[in-house]
Structure formats: structure tokens, C-alpha cells
Amino acid sequence: MPQGSSQPAAGRPHRVVVIVDENSNPFELGCAIEVFGLPRPEIGRDLYDFRLCSPEPRTLMRDGFFTLTGVADLAAADEADTLIVPNRPDVDVPRRAAVLDAVRRARDRGARLVGFCSGAFTLAEAGVLDGRRATAHWRWADSFRARFPAVRLETDVLFVDDGDILTAAGSAAALDLGLYVVRRDHGAEIANAVSRRLVFAGHRDGGQRQFVERPVPRVADSSLAPLLAWAQEHLDAPLTVSGLAARATVSPATLHRRFRAQLGTTPLAWLTGERLALACRLIERGEPRLDVVARKCGLGTAANLRALMRRETGLTPSAYRRRFGPPTAPRPAA
């Protein structure tokens, strides 16, 4: 996971600022507030300094549902460590010049930029996505490509992390990306706490498909939930796809189809992701022995754990421990 270059000033939390523009979608605004803006008494500290801002004192939200007032003016965007840009369903309407200038200034000073759903249009119009990877809602893919051919649009994913610019494909994917950012900033344990409060799945990988088919089941209950819950309790065991299929009393091919339909991924990819998430939590809780971590999460060897962590998080286990693990106890004075 490449990290953005923006760092908050010493003594304050990372500052997340959302620009709310005319006709912005309330759902994604609510997602940002839920993930980044609420107090976290269950954690014991606030994770972010969160602010809303707008170019106007009164901002009419999508389809005139309501008018937003009482938020900061656009100057607040110049103090953001992470700037979430406006997302509007009227993608063919040009964004305000003041908003685009604020996005460019944020990029120039190294802030992290986030676009939910049609927010990719705001980023592209500001010129910060040229040559970069991004995603947007599938219904606007053709329009986006026609207007912004220099952007490397990926349409069959939930979200894209391109380092200091992150984009989510649709409304629900805004929650996925928000929790991913929390995990990137604060580790798996904190992200799980936030997801539990939201009663939302703590980890859907960004590479999953935007549209997951959910056919009407032919049996009373073909949900994967019981199997997933059992597997999560037995990650240290030598689980295999054929073993999971046998426990679910289906063939491996049927299990693959159900995983694709219900989760948008494969059984092996899901299992590996769950094991890596457990490994991260064990490291965050202070387990220093990588061979023990690898064994408890079913990844086999410390070498395999190192390779997977570097591939999936961009960090070695030691670097992950320094960033998210418990503080090192001070050495006693000689």
C-alpha cells in the first residue's frame, strides 16, 4: 500500500476535509462522516480531525433533498491532510473553478486525495489523474473514458489505491474505501473496531467486482455466512478449498460459483485475505515471533508471511510492527 506524502502537524490527528458542492450526493457524505468524523469512545481516542467545507454558505444537495449550511468555507480544504472531493450525479456539468483550484493546491502540497463514486470526475477535471489509475461507477465508464482518455480507468473493481490518490467505484464502495484508508492509517485492529460499529464487513478487497450477481437461491439457504464464520475460527488449521467445499456439502466448483456470486472473489483469495488480516492483528497486539504469527494464522512459514505482507500492505512485518504495534517499553536506566 503506497503511502501519500502528506503528514499532519505534530500534536494533532490526521485532518480529513470533505468538500461539499452543489448537487453532491448525501450518501457518500454520510459515509465519510461515519468513517472519519464520529468520536471513537470504543477506541479511546479520535482517529481524525474531520471537517466539512463548501464554496457557498448554503449548498443545495442532490436533487434538492436538503440544504447544507453551517460548514466551513473552501479555505478549510487548504488545511487537509486528506481531501475528499465532491461527487455529483450530474457528471457532465463542469465543476466550479474554485473547487478544482482547491484540489490542485492540495495535490501540489502533497495531500492525499479521495474520490467517492463520481468524485473521479472532479479529480480528472482538475487534471490530477492524468496518467494515473482510478475507478468510477460502471454506469459512467464510457463517458469518463471519452472525456479523460489520459486516465487509466479500471471499471471492474470496488476501489483503486494509486498511492496519494484513491477512488471508489460507487456508493457502498465508499465505505469499503473508507475502512481501507483507516486500516492503512491505523492498522487492522482499529479498522475492525470501526467496521464493527458500522455493522459492515471489515474487509472487501478493492479488486473485487463492482457488480456482484446475487441469483435467487434454489435451496432454502445457500448463504456462505455459516461456512465463513467457521473458517474464521479455524484459520490455524490446514484449510483447503476442497475441505471447505466438503464442509459446505457442495462440490469445489459450486463453492467457487457461490464465492464469486456472493463475495466477488475466490475461496482461496478470501482465505488468504482472512489469514493475512489475522496476522496483522496478532502483530498489532504485540506477538513478536513471526513463526508463531504464521502458524496461528495458517500461513505456514515466516518467509511466506513476509512475502504476503509486503505484497498486500507494502510493509515488512517489522515495519508494520513499528507503525501499528504496541509502543516499545522504555529500557530501565542503567
**Residue-level pLDDT at 326:** 80
What are the φ/ψ torsions at residue 256 (nearest 5 degrees)? -60, -45
pTM given for the model: 0.70
Nearest to 87 by CA among 29, 4, 155, 17: 29
The number of angstroms, rounded, from the C-alpha of 188 to the middle of its chain's C-alpha atoms is 12
The number of angstroms, rounded, from the C-alpha of 334 to the middle of its chain's C-alpha atoms is 46
- What architecture (CATH level 2) is domain 217-326? Orthogonal Bundle (1.10)
- The residue ranges of every structural domain in the chain are 14-198, 217-326
Fold: same for 14-198 and 217-326: no
List the chain residues with pLDDT less than 70: 1-11, 199-222, 328-334
What are the φ/ψ torsions at residue 118 (nearest 5 degrees)? -75, 5
| CATH placement of domain 14-198 | 3.40.50.880
**Residue-level pLDDT at 107:** 96
Which residue has cell 487492522? 188
Which residue has cell 449550511? 69
Within 13 Å and on the Cβ side, how many CA atoms surround 152? 8
Q: What is the 3-state secondary structure (H, E, C) of 188-244?
A: HHHHHHHHHHHCCCCCCCCCCCCCCCCCCCCCCCCCCHHHHHHHHCCCCCCCCHHHH
> Which residues lie across from 167 on neighbouring strands?
115, 160
**Residue-level pLDDT at 181:** 93
Which residue has cell 443545495? 60
What are the φ/ψ torsions at residue 235 (nearest 5 degrees)? -65, -20
Contact yes or no for 15/81 (Cβ under 8 A) = yes
